[in-house]
Structure 1
Amino acid sequence: MLSLLLVAAALLVWPQLKPLRRLRPAGKGEIVVPQWLWLIAAVTVTYLAAGVGGLIAGSVLAVVIYRIIKQGRRNRALRTATEALSNGLGGVVDELRAGAHAATAAEGAAQDTPAPAAEVLKAAAATARLGGDVERTLRDLRQPVLGTAVDQLAKAWHVSAKHGVALADVLDATRLDLDQRAAFARQVHARMAGPRASAAVLAGLPVFGVLLGELSGARPLHILISTTAGQFLLVLGALFLAAGLWWTKRITEVEP
């Protein structure tokens, strides 16, 4: 227990690197270590410390955690971009109802809209100004973040062009739908904070169990690292843990 307290105290007083980087002389550049070198070092250390089973288990957990973090960042970027596009469409609707041309309205709204939603509005404005097919332009845009929202916007433009419905009305309906989807995604994300925290605590319990076993003298690390059965159990436990983390991520997240 004393060793754990010492490690926690060391982490609390560990120096921050950002102030040191700010105080570095301007003439001295920062040494950048390639990511593949860090990967090779991590694989080597894991293999030497935990064997083949530890390497497989660490790789499985690392891949799943990386995918979870990447998916979380993508969902946050999608929510932000959807809200930005909705706000931009609100500006387009206001300009259209004031009597502005579609190209002028979209171009004006794009100036106050952050990327990547601004790119969508600029593409629509440029095509409308030239008298082109805005629906095809939006479908060919292949926006990686706002793919579903852009397709929905293209359908709205198609309805207006084919059936003569006022463009302001269909864009306003699209804006309302995007608002509702973004609000629902934010609500689900906020309400699932508790279950996500509980899942993180449960995922860490096996690690604490192994540490407690070591402190009590049961030597579980010796079994997991030095025996064939332990190596198999280490991989099996990592697979179950990774599956649980990924499933928790899937059921507690929703895309706008």
Structure 2
Amino acid sequence: MPVVTVLLLAAAVLVWPPKHGRHRLHAIAPTVPRARRRRPLPRPSSAVLAVAGACVGWSVLGAGGAIANAVLCVTCWRRWHSRRAVRRRAQLTEGMVGALTALVAELKIGAHPATAAERAAIDAEPQAAKAMIAVASAAKLGGEVDRVLLDKAHEEPSLRTVLARLGHAWRLSGRHGLPLAEVVDAVRRDLEERIRFTKQVHARMAGPRASAAVLATLPEVGVLLGEAMEAHPLHVLADTAIGQFALVLGALFICGGVLWSAKLTEHPVAP
């Protein structure tokens, strides 16, 4: 009898109506579900990765392994962060080119700079739209648009060069009476050529980047081959003083080569 009572109480709890009336209203007239915003995942810092890598290295190869693995983890994190920054800068520059294209088109048909900037901001990328809105606000109030652009350049490091060029071009147009549309169009064409040249250079550097990646993995492959041949290189690296020193020195050489090759192959030019 107590078991039946407990089951009935559990069933009553399951079918109990919701407490808030809004749930009943949703059941009667369901609304369109709102799109959930994806929260960005927390990114670990280089210090956290270094500590985690050191713990793993210590458990496998001792003190030398801790130092070597920490250096490798920090280097990998820096490489990922650097490549992400390069891609972001390229995307923002391309978005700014699109906004300048719309701005020039509006200026050429005789629109006021404030109106042209507002229309250019409609379909622009978020960062480019912010710049166009700042231009429109300054132009409406009769302010110094070039100074606004130069101030905006310091707020967005990825667009610092682009906004600085646009600000200087705007100042040149106002100081010497040059057609604003032609001056801005010159900045746009220059950015397009820089983007095209940068893409060509990065494409030609794909081979050297692949070679650098292969060279960076050769020491690890050699250690694995030594273990397969029963030469026990891991024992030498983990249990001898010369092995610990060689492990740290090898990791430093690998990381130095990776960073130097990245500097030579991934940052030859910047749009």
TM-score range, shorter chain: 0.7 to 0.9
TM-score between the two structures when normalised by the length of structure 1: 0.83
Q: Which runs of 5+ in 1 are unaligned?
A: 1-31
Q: 2:203 aligns with which of 172, 186, 190?
A: 190
Higher RCO by CA contacts (8 Å cutoff, separation 6 or greater):
1
- C-alpha distance in structure 1 between counterparts of 2:261 and 2:220, whole Å: 19
1:21 alignment counterpart: none
Counterpart residue number, 1:17: none
Q: Do the aligned residues in 2 keep the contact of 1:81 with 1:145 (CA within 8 Å)?
A: yes
Distance 2:103 2:235 in 1: 66
Q: 2:68·2:252 contact (CA, 8 Å) conserved in 1?
A: yes
Select the residue among 153, 161, 170 that pairs with 2:183: 170
Alignment of 1:246 onto 2:259: yes
Residues 151-166 of structure 1 aligned to structure 2 (within 5 Å): 151-166=164-179
Partners of 2:177 and 2:42 in 1: how far apart? Answer: 59
SS at match of 1:146: helix
The equivalent position to 1:111 in structure 2, one of 102, 117, 122, is 122
| Distance of 1:104 and 1:34 partners within structure 2 | 40
Instruction: Give the aligned residue type for 2:168.
Output: K
SS in 2 for 1:218: coil
Instruction: Please identify the structure whose Cα radius of gyration is greater.
Output: 2
Aligned to 1:221: 234
Q: Which residue of 1 aligns with 2:157?
A: 144
What do the CA deviations read for 1:209-242 (whole angstroms, capped 9, x no partner)? 0000011011111111111111111111111111
1:107–1:73 CA distance, 2 compared to 1 (3 A):
same
Task: Note the aligned Cα RMSD (angstroms).
Answer: 2.0
Which structure 2 residues correspond to residues 1-256 of structure 1 after superposition, within 5 A? 35=44, 39=49, 41-141=52-152, 142-254=155-267, 255-256=270-271
Equivalent residues of 1:79, 1:185 under 8 A apart: no
Q: Structure 2: which 5+ residue stretches go unaligned?
A: 1-40
Aligned residues: 225
TM-score, scaled relative to structure 2: 0.78
Alignment partners' CA distance in 1, 2:264 and 2:230:
39
CA distance in 1, matches of 2:206, 2:121: 34
* Residues 56 and 66, structure 2, Cα contact 8 Å, conserved in 1: no
